[in-house]
Structure 1
């Protein structure tokens, strides 16, 4: 189990460039299975979860060539479907949440797709019903081996249909879209997710020859085609990492410039930090965070009531940033309620922040009230363990702002989502060592 040792209390300065988007990469990489032709993908983040998926594709028989940092070509012209029934696949697929999105393209192109129950973050229940209900509506037969926790769908032919999703699941929508692009006839998906990364997937599929309309809305229309061709695709920057750097700059009273953020795809993220009183300046396609020497003050609602920051489906605020916003609020002037609607275990990491001296009331598994210190009292260094990717980075930000030397164990969770995070932090002045 890896460990970070962090000497906190130092101001940082300089520029930092966000990696390619993790959540986009997991969708896009699965889509290479939809064609036997070559697909080139750029700006792929070098992180554990993405590298696991690339290894899975290679084990499936996909020919992979690395062209340069973050740039690969994929050719799925000789896929080994027998691997899907192997014990090795049942083991490898279980360790990666994003492996569920292999099922849609496999079902669409080869008539069958299998997956072990995926693992991932310990942040609460993450249902797969939306995925499989969509496949069933397209004509697939579903089966589940309870002893091995092994899912399967099979179909001689997928046929387009109308479906109203029970939730606007991003991975569920992506999976169903990838299944529908080669189905016979027209598929309509209502209550579809419309996040920028899902839009990126749809635009890539269109370049491959798919017929998709309504991209960017919650109503998608897909006309099935006989086959798809190759293409080239470049990932967006990771919006969660961008939010992490905004929070880091505020908590450490640092002046940072975040490069090439794709402003138009950030949605509510800048506004959420501005509600906490943080100055977020747009400079062309960069974000500049000036030094907040006098701190930052929470903006209450216009009637004076306490601010609530909650997650919601796009274009609402992504749930992946609530952990970071919560940490940033611990040093704000004022109070804020953080409402994590989607996952019932994601706020349980606040016990570590309480150990550091933060003032937080955990109201229930979904809500926490944060009373900010206004930097009148700094957080204290401590020893902690990262429970998941986003909580891990939130604790890292807390440690970088705290007085003294903190230790964070289980940093493999952080490495799952952040590329060379310690090296990039050292480049802007952070005192962090990987033990």
Structure 2
């Protein structure tokens, strides 16, 4: 029988600026997603304890519940982890390592597993020296000659990171080639982004009629999921990606670069937010999402999809939108669950996709020209084809779709 995973959650708040009242709720959601049974939640308002992060008395209070692990919202230094493990019979985890634990349990593809490992090593590498040198200074048994061992471990980690980066670079190159091929076939690329558990997977299902798993828990989607979507005759591919979370370390963004490139290379980004969240929490999540998008170097047009409108009074929803207008460009209210607002969203998507221009192209009668004509039927909107001394094509499409014909085209864009 599998042993039950139990935990007590601990949060230290700054006495001057207590911070967000929803942080403990988010930590509980992460712990539940990782499979922990939460026995208690402890919050202490005080300055940072340099030895344990939180006061000794609160740790002793947490241990009275006999948990398998203590999970801290606050980041723990290697020294604090060492101190707690040395003085108390319990395992400890901070919020970032809890997130990595969730990622590791959900990583099903080779790419996702490599990205999780790279994130773990990126976190461990700068801390290995500190932890081992601390043990050496403390003269713990079994660490004689730890300096050489420390250097060996550090170099092993750096070597493994280099190998993973090289492999992920190949994966990213294949992704870039895949995106190019999809565009050559006439597809627009649209990416779903947003805070974890905002309803991105549910929206993907609602827009495309698919049945992707959409669970009410954080980080349901770890690897990109792509489905076809047609909007007013334009063919698109909609991709769901890993959700964002507050205080996401920059090296985690870098580790998941090959996955997040689906957002940074998209033609249009749908930023999904939970409109039913309290205003303060909604703003915090939008700020965190915009920071992550900035780290991903996203430059594509953006639509802010305010999900779960069915849980809001219409007047209250509009008042809330007025108070987040600085963070919500091109806002559209929808309910992915009840399909409310999806028609308006599709119209907005159509308007924000890269515009199509009218072209008139003349081609000679060759087998290559007829091959290009066949391709243009798939990738563009052919308005007219005249078979005279040469092929005369009138079409509406993207410049890049007709660029390969530019040397043979005798007329340019016809606006």
Common fold, TM-score beyond 0.5? Answer: no
**Structure with greater contact order relative to length (CA < 8 Å, sep ≥ 6):** 1
TM-score (norm 2): 0.29
Pick the structure with greater CA Rg: 2
Q: Which structure features the higher share of helix residues?
A: 2
TM-score (norm 1): 0.28
